[in-house]
Structure 1
Amino acid sequence: MKPLFALMILTLATLVTGCQSMGMTEQATLRGTGDLGLVVERAAGSVLVIDHSEHEILGRVTGLGDLSHASVVYSRDARYGYVFGRDGGLTKVDLLTQTIDKRVIQSGNSIGGAISQDGEYVAVSNYEPGGVNVFDSDTLELVMEIPAEYTNAEGQPAQSKTVGLVDAPGNRFVFSLFDANEIWTVDMLTSPPEVSRFDAGKAPYDGLITPDGRYYIAGLFGEDGLSMLDLWQPEQGVTTILPGYGKGEKRLPVYKMPHLEGWAIADGTAFVPAVGHHQVLVADMESWELVDRIPVHGQPVFVMASPDSRQIWVSFAHPRNDVIQVLDSRTHEIIRTLEPGKSVLHMEFTPRGEEVWVSARDSNRITVYNTRTLEKVATLDAKSPSGIFFTNRAHALGL
């Protein structure tokens, strides 16, 4: 065999072997992200990448800073999770490589964020300095600063804490100003983005958007009731719903603010946590009138409907935060009281609702329940777990 011909044969064999090897490697690592998610490890400054189909922890990503009140949104392709840390950190996590793609410190104290309808922008809600910062979702370069400026009771200029930041149809962001008693919208389709301001009730502490994207509703800490803005008709301004729901009742100390993001809608009614009361409020969604009060174990933090709306799962504030109660959405009766562990912080339903994952911070574990039998099906070890966020959130408004 001539040397040149032999060299060509050897080169061809090497290329074929290399292609086969590359194909095997890609096949071993290639996967979708539809059944993945992130679990926040609050005290460790890390997140777990999990597979909720297999009840498996795939990896841990460290170095995310203060995650004491962290939340997550996802890119449109559900490959990247954007983690909002309490220390002002915004971290873009790659779920497939289980690494930090990019990270910026964008404020001194932040609390949550959102990704725009088109996936181009990530917005972060800040306490210090008060306002919202908007970033390019690919590069995390700053696109826009929105200082939450207002005039305080002393007539002096100030910046308010911003809370309840959500995405809305029309590539808008909506958020509340805790100190200024206002709701603002930001239209990212105009150039420059247009900011609109609306008067709200006293001390809005969190916000949500209805699944159809029409109503933005802010819970109020300073009064009994909620502020609602109709995003189809914003010119009508903010209206108050469920006013005076605690009238005649003694308000209890509030150790942890309720979270409205996971509020429940079932059979034309809304199930809302009552601030300072051991109750879940039930409102008719046509009239927005109070139709029932459900006595529960403690002060609700999360009131969440299963994807089929048959069950309402409720978690509670300290010191009664070691249980979960499951309610029937039709009868409003308590079906079961579960004990997932000490200091239950968060719940997350699998996309089709066959299971729910529950974090128990002080027990260092996640418990998975079957929603039909209400029996435990799996437990996973985690370091002070708090928020659980599955990638199906990439395709839902306001999450």
Structure 2
Amino acid sequence: MKIFTRSSFKILAASGLCLSLAACVSAPPAPALAAGTGDLGLVVERASGSLQVLNTSRRELLGPIQGLGDLSHASLVYSRDGAYAFVFGRDGALSKVHLPSRSLVGRVQQSGNSIGGAISQDGTLVAAQNYQPGGIRVFDAQTLRLVADIPAEYEPGKLSRVVGLVELPGQRFMYALFDANEIWIADVSGVAAGQPPQLQKFKNVGLQPYDALLTPDGRYYIAGLFGEDGLVKIDLWAAQPKAERILAGYGRGQQPLPVFKMPHLRGWAIAGRQAYLPAIGRHEVLVVDMDSWQELGRIAVAGQPVFVMARPDGRQVWVNFAVPDYNQVQVIDTQSRQVIQTLSPGKAVLHMEFTPRGESVWISSRDDDTVNVFDTRSFARQATLKAAAPSGIFFTSRAQRSGF
């Protein structure tokens, strides 16, 4: 068990850097299924370096896609049609998989340590955010050919780890530099024509921005700060966007707890005009008014929140936790702001994903080797599916949503 403190944020980076396209496909994909891809998704199997293709309506796993390397901290994004996923592995590999044929169709070893990425608004470019070496690399989504390499060099010879990468309209990517206390926007609209990326930099945004989200309307980029209580907000609709601090000192006068697992801000709950956010180092969910960006209240929960996720209709917020409370999930009613249900899906709950219209939620339990499906109205368990140390769950409905 690894404990992160505000004075230490250590990530083991893989050594060596290779930027070569690996031979990973021996044949073109098999003919596509007759059905569309909108009912499919993927479950990351950490133990085996594979993905399980799933069907949300039938609540079943259809079979694996193998050979994806180190998926101990993996995420993915989808092509616009939902047929392909781009997988970012901890080992720095970028893999392209085809869901209908359950096959690996492309793979490039693009860095030594990567923790995520994004796909451009038009679906033609895929960007990976990297710890080692620090920066982002942008690839052609069709061929996985490198089209832009943007080091996160904030001082001569100093590279920052990159987190919080999201896509913006106009072939742009936005991301935070953890070690530099900066946020950058990279405009890569001209790279296909051989033009260099154009960078816009926001400096001194706060201590150690560690993850971020883009609000569903694409207006606000909000990053959490690991080195201090508070968040930073950038209004992208403003004529002259600037970094503004919000919720500064929300833990003032309180002794923070050791942080056992970093909250994932991409799972923040946006419900109507309110945001439900994890309070770092505290057993609380913060409720924030999105018009004034002032705190409206706090909800006591069972442990340190990791994912705080809204059901698609915004009526419920589901929360999972870091150790030692990571066998529980709690449900908050957004009208009463009360915890209305506590579930025990299994050992080591790592991720949750709602079906597109919110009737069910899929929950991975790593140490039980199961994915459990629950009805979000009755809270009844609808299915239990076997998977090898499952973590992330990603439905193809993400292909139609910004920030995912």
- What is the TM-score with the length of structure 2 in the denominator? 0.90
Name the SS of the counterpart of 1:261 in structure 2.
helix
Matched, 1:165 2:165: yes
Given candidates 274, 289, 294, the residue that maps to 1:289 is 294
Looking at structure 2, the residues matched to 166 and 69 of structure 1 have their Cα atoms a distance apart, in angstroms, of 17
2:305·2:322 contact (CA, 8 Å) conserved in 1?
yes
Looking at structure 2, the residues matched to 201 and 256 of structure 1 have their Cα atoms a distance apart, in angstroms, of 20
State the match for 1:248 in structure 2. Answer: 253
- Map Cα deviations across residues 163-209 of structure 1 (whole Å, 9 max, x no partner): 01111122211100000000001112244321111021100110100
Matched, 1:147 2:154: no
User: Alpha-carbon deviation of 1:57?
Assistant: 1.1
Matched, 1:33 2:31: no
Looking at structure 2, the residues matched to 60 and 222 of structure 1 have their Cα atoms a distance apart, in angstroms, of 40
Looking at structure 2, the residues matched to 319 and 286 of structure 1 have their Cα atoms a distance apart, in angstroms, of 35
2:33·2:101 contact (CA, 8 Å) conserved in 1?
no
Name the SS of the counterpart of 2:37 in structure 1.
coil
- Map Cα deviations across residues 327-346 of structure 1 (whole Å, 9 max, x no partner): 00111100100000000000
State the match for 2:23 in structure 1. Answer: none
Looking at structure 2, the residues matched to 249 and 267 of structure 1 have their Cα atoms a distance apart, in angstroms, of 30
Looking at structure 2, the residues matched to 29 and 264 of structure 1 have their Cα atoms a distance apart, in angstroms, of 34
State the match for 1:263 in structure 2. Answer: 268
Unmatched tracts of structure 2, length 5 or more: 1-29
State the match for 2:21 in structure 1. Answer: none
Matched, 1:332 2:342: no
* CA RMSD of superposed structures (Å): 1.3
Matched, 1:360 2:360: no
State the match for 2:395 in structure 1. Answer: 390
Matched, 1:59 2:63: yes
State the match for 2:10 in structure 1. Answer: none
State the match for 1:134 in structure 2. Answer: 138
2:40·2:56 contact (CA, 8 Å) conserved in 1?
yes
State the match for 1:5 in structure 2. Answer: none
Larger-gyration structure (1/2): 1
Looking at structure 2, the residues matched to 189 and 81 of structure 1 have their Cα atoms a distance apart, in angstroms, of 22
Aligned CA distance change for structure 1 residues 322 and 213 (closer, same or farther; 3 Å): same
- Map Cα deviations across residues 258-310 of structure 1 (whole Å, 9 max, x no partner): 00101111131100001111100011101100110111000000000000000
Given candidates 47, 53, 65, the residue that maps to 1:49 is 53
State the match for 1:7 in structure 2. Answer: none
Looking at structure 2, the residues matched to 380 and 66 of structure 1 have their Cα atoms a distance apart, in angstroms, of 22
Where do residues 206-285 of structure 1 align in structure 2 (5 Å cutoff)? 206-233=211-238, 235-285=240-290
Aligned CA distance change for structure 1 residues 333 and 196 (closer, same or farther; 3 Å): same
Looking at structure 2, the residues matched to 136 and 171 of structure 1 have their Cα atoms a distance apart, in angstroms, of 12
- What is the TM-score with the length of structure 1 in the denominator? 0.91
Looking at structure 2, the residues matched to 107 and 40 of structure 1 have their Cα atoms a distance apart, in angstroms, of 20
Looking at structure 1, the residues matched to 306 and 102 of structure 2 have their Cα atoms a distance apart, in angstroms, of 30
User: Alpha-carbon deviation of 1:72?
Assistant: 1.0
Looking at structure 2, the residues matched to 91 and 126 of structure 1 have their Cα atoms a distance apart, in angstroms, of 15
State the match for 1:4 in structure 2. Answer: none
Looking at structure 2, the residues matched to 187 and 181 of structure 1 have their Cα atoms a distance apart, in angstroms, of 20
Greater helix fraction, Structure 1 or Structure 2:
1
Looking at structure 2, the residues matched to 262 and 395 of structure 1 have their Cα atoms a distance apart, in angstroms, of 16
- The one-letter amino acid paired with 2:51 is V
Name the SS of the counterpart of 1:235 in structure 2.
coil
- The one-letter amino acid paired with 1:303 is V
- The one-letter amino acid paired with 2:389 is S
The alignment of Structure 1 onto Structure 2 pairs a total of residues equal to 370
Identity %: 59
Looking at structure 2, the residues matched to 138 and 388 of structure 1 have their Cα atoms a distance apart, in angstroms, of 24
Name the SS of the counterpart of 2:397 in structure 1.
helix
State the match for 1:9 in structure 2. Answer: none
Moved >3 Å (runs of 4+): none
2:167·2:174 contact (CA, 8 Å) conserved in 1?
yes
Looking at structure 2, the residues matched to 325 and 268 of structure 1 have their Cα atoms a distance apart, in angstroms, of 22
User: Alpha-carbon deviation of 1:234?
Assistant: 6.6
Looking at structure 2, the residues matched to 234 and 213 of structure 1 have their Cα atoms a distance apart, in angstroms, of 15
User: Alpha-carbon deviation of 1:236?
Assistant: 3.6
State the match for 2:202 in structure 1. Answer: 198
Matched, 1:125 2:167: no
Matched, 1:110 2:103: no
- The one-letter amino acid paired with 1:163 is V
Matched, 1:345 2:331: no
